[in-house]
Structure 1
Amino acid sequence: MNVEIERKFLVKNNNFKQESYNKTYIKQGYLNSDEKRVVRVRITDTEAFITIKGKSNKKGTTRFEWEKSISVLDAQQLLLLSEPTLIEKTRFYVKKGNHTYEIDEFLGDNLGLIVAEIELNSEDENFEKPTWLGKEVTGDLKYYNSRISKHPFKNWM
């Protein structure tokens, strides 16, 4: 079984951009965003994927994840079937120790929201925390991309 173990954090400032070794534009939508599973379609600068994620464990750190590469054309057509609203973001990659942080700077209706994720090999694995890393939001459903697509950041205030 494919399992993803990850932790999420808010980001305090833009200092991570100076440390970033790469970035990519992402557009994604959800074909299904049920609480027990989500089906996501994602297009990056050059690739496309369909992903199914299961419900997270109680801590919010671990869940089933299955992902397959698909053609960009197929992904564009599937995005037309997606639930409202599409997510657009720039993803920055920052290497810290043995790990890589993926920092999503959201665009459009979610402008101003910046979330960092780190994938781990185990739930209790130690990792380096950079100074720009803020409050941990692992397991907080409002920071799941599938939830953000339905409840954009601009409406949180």
Structure 2
Amino acid sequence: MIEIERKFLVTSEMFKTEASNSYSIKQGFLNSHKKRTVRIRLKKDMGYLTVKGESTSNGLSRFEWEKEISVEEAESLLDLCEKGIINKIRYEIKCGNHIFEVDEFFGDNSGLVIAEVELNTENEKFIKPDWLGEEVTGDVKYYNSQLSKNPYTNW
């Protein structure tokens, strides 16, 4: 239940031609405290309730627990979320032994594109695609919970 991931800005739309899958995501936060977040997400034809803990000092690791819930439950819980619903399209791109998840944001976060790669260890090596830009791992302003409070278009 420990998630290890690295985040990067994306420098071009080349990733779209490499994507094997894409889908819309709508998400909100019931709680966006620094030490814990509680997220509600609609993805494809399912809902998800996710609890995340505080990140380690290097931003690479944190506790994550996720449970599938029905679409109806997710829609009802989204109505209770804090202000700032996130809308994005997620693209999945296989690169070597890893899958990069690239999120293209819309609405108040329009123009922001972030890639994430999940790892098994903090020091795990991975291939970096050409469209991968500056690493923003651990920069809290790029956390979805913070983007819901202080959107990219306000920066």
TM over 0.5: same fold?
A: yes
Q: Which residue of 1 aligns with 2:135?
A: 136
- Distance in 1, Cα, partners of 2:106 & 2:76: 22
Q: Which residue of 1 aligns with 2:39?
A: 40
Question: How many residues in Structure 1 have an aligned counterpart in Structure 2?
Answer: 155
Give the deviation of 1:154 after TM superposition.
0.7
Q: Which residue of 1 aligns with 2:144?
A: 145
State, as a whole percentage, how many aligned pairs show the same letter. Answer: 56
Q: Which residue of 2 aligns with 1:113?
A: 112
Give the deviation of 1:47 after TM superposition.
1.0
Please give the per-residue CA displacement for 1:9-37, whole angstroms capped at 9, x wherever unaligned. 00001000000000010000000000100
TM-score w.r.t. the length of structure 1 is 0.98
Give the deviation of 1:151 after TM superposition.
0.3
Q: Which residue of 1 aligns with 2:88?
A: 89
Q: Which residue of 1 aligns with 2:74?
A: 75
Counterpart residue identity of residue 51, structure 2: I
- Distance in 2, Cα, partners of 1:80 & 1:153: 23
| Alignment RMSD (CA, Å) | 0.4
Moved beyond 6 Å, runs of 4+: none
Q: Which residue of 2 aligns with 1:18?
A: 17
Please give the per-residue CA displacement for 1:53-73, whole angstroms capped at 9, x wherever unaligned. 000001100000000000000
Structure 2 unaligned runs (5+)? none
Give the deviation of 1:45 after TM superposition.
1.9
Q: Which residue of 2 aligns with 1:66?
A: 65
